[in-house]
Chain A
Amino acid sequence: MPNVLDIRRRIRSVVNTRQITKAMKTVSAAKLRRAQEGAMAARPYSQMLANVLKSLMSRADTFDPDTGRPRHPLLAERPENNILLLVVTGDKGLAGAFNTNILKLVSKFIQSKPNANIDIESIGRKARDFMRRRYPLALLNTDDRGDQNVSIAGVGNAGVDNNERNDERNDERNGARNRAQDERSPAEERSSAERKGRVQIVAEHVGVLGKVEYSFPASIANRIVDRYMHEEIDAVYILFNEFKSVIAQRLVAERILPVKEIGEVDIHMAEEATEDEKRQRGEAAKAAGLNMRQADTSEIDNAASKFGTESVDYIYEQPPEQLFRNILPKYITTQIFHALLESVAAEHAARMTAMDSATSNASDMIESLTLVMNRARQAKITKEIIEIVSGAAAQ
């Protein structure tokens, strides 16, 4: 016979948990809204950039007329012997299967390229922890360009603390490195470094997702473009949770280098959400009062799509080739930036969904526990009455 007091205690504890999950859900919903706005605000820039590149591509001699080979090294395709894989997860858990799903796809991706060496760059604490358990660490001489001197951040000075912290960390790291390799130049170090395994971790970034600054993807892009040009890597993929709206989400492995076609995403592996997940997300979004559909971006997109595409003869202050060369790496940056923003939005959405179902589970549990408690109480009363009655009858 369950004790009424015990059940009551359990109910109280579940009520407390429900309160927490409910609060987390509300917070995630608010953060999701902000993340969505951020992703939206980043659209015009990347679109305009892509347009300018496209129009430059038709004007500049990006392809060698004799061989038909692209002149710019970032456009050149090579056999994929060495792959760099950027993995984007969240820093925090309690987001349902969000992180697990991404990491599962990572394993699948690695299996699908059995003959290539894979360098992994993990973004987010969960990715780092997972990779560290599986693959050897071979940290590159990571020279984080971005946080060294971010004097003008695109969004003003909100990220000061963050940058300063980064700087301190960087200084420490630099210091340690200088001590360790006094006599070797970075280039030597790089070429002589032996692989620790077919799959190895080359860089880790933790705590950058709270507020995504443009300088962060810029530093990654600089580095990978550099490595790509030196033919250390032959392809760069980014694996993240794509976020078009609360419902339209999927996991993708997108190839960002070499650039196949500007303005087109080059998706190599994708995992759509199941119907069940979609339904859950929809319910959570409705409960949080969020707009489920994809926000209307047609106005921004229209304006942006006109940029640089007028069919007039532009005066180029610099030779088109030079412009092209300078803008292309920025295009890579915006792609990574986008992936990060979408991943952040998706993480909040996943957390919101998880917390929504946790809250409703808690409610169900309270209901059934209350039922059990009432039954136990009733049974106790009945038993007492029987005892009294039979006691009276015995006299």
Chain B
Amino acid sequence: MAATFQLEIVTPTKLLVKEDAEEVQLPGLDGYLGILPGHAPLITELGVGSISYKTGSGTHTLAVAWGFAEALPDKLTVLAEAAERPEDIDTARAEKAKRRAEERLQSSNPEVDYSRAEDALQRAESRLTIAKVTIAKDDR
């Protein structure tokens, strides 16, 4: 039995995950971080991407977008503005959001907020990737 620490992933609407994890990878704002038990106290902002964590039952992946995380030696709490399990991702909707963001980026309308459109694009792409990876795994 490997050493574990408590992992909590909280979104504005609910507590999504509360499990003992052996290892967690987070999309920090400045790049991915790996957290193992006994990590030094740390607070970081999160970017867009996937959180993957390893528990006794295997590795799980979640799509997250923004928020922040606090690591303590025996506990990791992630406050994510949005988090989703891969099986909950609606790929059709993500595709749609992606197309829309791309259109916005390409249009020359001065009212378009580029940074926001870019964020949206990034988010949609990340969700699609995560959804695809998981589906591929399930097929095998």
Residues of A within 8 A of B (CB): 38, 41-42, 44-46, 48-49, 52, 143, 145, 148-157, 160, 163, 174, 178, 185-186, 214, 218, 307-308, 310, 312-318, 322-323, 326-327, 330, 333-334, 337
Residues of A within 8 A of B60 (CB): none
Contact of A323 among B68, B85, B89, B124 (CB under 8 A): B68
Known: A42-B13, A157-B88. A314 touches B30 (CB 8 A): no
Chain B residues 68-101 with CB under 8 Å of chain A are 68, 70, 72, 77, 79-85, 88-90, 93-94, 97, 100-101
Instruction: Indicate if the CB atoms of A317 and B29 lie closer than 8 Å.
Output: yes
Instruction: Indicate if the CB atoms of A153 and B82 lie closer than 8 Å.
Output: yes
Which applies to chain B's interface (DSSP): helix, strand, loop or mixed? mixed
Chain A nearest CB from B35 CB (Å) reads: 12
Instruction: Indicate if the CB atoms of B44 and A155 lie closer than 8 Å.
Output: no
- B133 contacts partner chain A, Cβ-Cβ < 8 Å: no
Residues of A within 8 A of B110 (CB): 185
Known: A154-B81, A156-B88. A312 touches B30 (CB 8 A): no
How many residue pairs, one in A and one in B, have C-beta atoms under 8 Å apart? 130
Closest to A44 in B: B10
Known: A48-B10, A317-B42, A318-B44. A149 touches B97 (CB 8 A): yes
21 residue pairs from A and B, CB less than 8 Å apart: A45-B10, A45-B11, A149-B97, A151-B94, A151-B127, A154-B11, A154-B80, A154-B82, A157-B89, A160-B93, A163-B93, A174-B111, A186-B111, A214-B81, A218-B81, A308-B43, A314-B41, A317-B43, A317-B44, A323-B43, A337-B12
- B136 contacts partner chain A, Cβ-Cβ < 8 Å: no
User: 4 shortest A-B CB distances, which residue pairs?
Assistant: A317-B44, A149-B120, A152-B82, A157-B90
Q: How far is the CA of A343 from the CA of B127 in the complex (A)?
A: 32
- B24 contacts partner chain A, Cβ-Cβ < 8 Å: no
Residues of B within 8 A of A (CB): 10-15, 28-30, 33, 40-45, 63-65, 68, 70, 72, 77, 79-85, 88-90, 93-94, 97, 100-101, 109-111, 113, 116-117, 119-120, 123-124, 127
Instruction: Indicate if the CB atoms of B101 and A317 lie closer than 8 Å.
Output: no
Residues of B within 8 A of A330 (CB): 81
Residues of A within 8 A of B65 (CB): 151-152
Contact of A318 among B29, B80, B90, B123 (CB under 8 A): B29
Chain B nearest CB from A137 CB (Å) reads: 22
Residues of B within 8 A of A185 (CB): 110
Residues of B within 8 A of A152 (CB): 63-65, 82-84, 123, 127
Q: How far is the CA of A16 from the CA of B11 in the complex (A)?
A: 44
Closest to B11 in A: A154
Instruction: Indicate if the CB atoms of B84 and A148 lie closer than 8 Å.
Output: no
Known: A45-B12, A318-B29. A178 touches B111 (CB 8 A): yes
Instruction: Indicate if the CB atoms of A149 and B43 lie closer than 8 Å.
Output: no
Residues of B within 8 A of A145 (CB): 116
Closest to A217 in B: B12
Instruction: Indicate if the CB atoms of A44 and B70 lie closer than 8 Å.
Output: no
Chain B nearest CB from A188 CB (Å) reads: 12
Instruction: Indicate if the CB atoms of B93 and A151 lie closer than 8 Å.
Output: yes
Q: How far is the CA of A145 from the CA of B111 in the complex (A)?
A: 12
Instruction: Indicate if the CB atoms of A48 and B79 lie closer than 8 Å.
Output: yes
Closest to B110 in A: A185
Instruction: Indicate if the CB atoms of B97 and A151 lie closer than 8 Å.
Output: yes
Instruction: Indicate if the CB atoms of B41 and A149 lie closer than 8 Å.
Output: no
Q: How far is the CA of A166 from the CA of B65 in the complex (A)?
A: 21
Q: Apart from A44-B15, A160-B90, A317-B30, list 6 A-B contacts with CB within 8 A.
A: A41-B14, A45-B13, A52-B79, A149-B119, A151-B123, A318-B45
Closest to B69 in A: A317
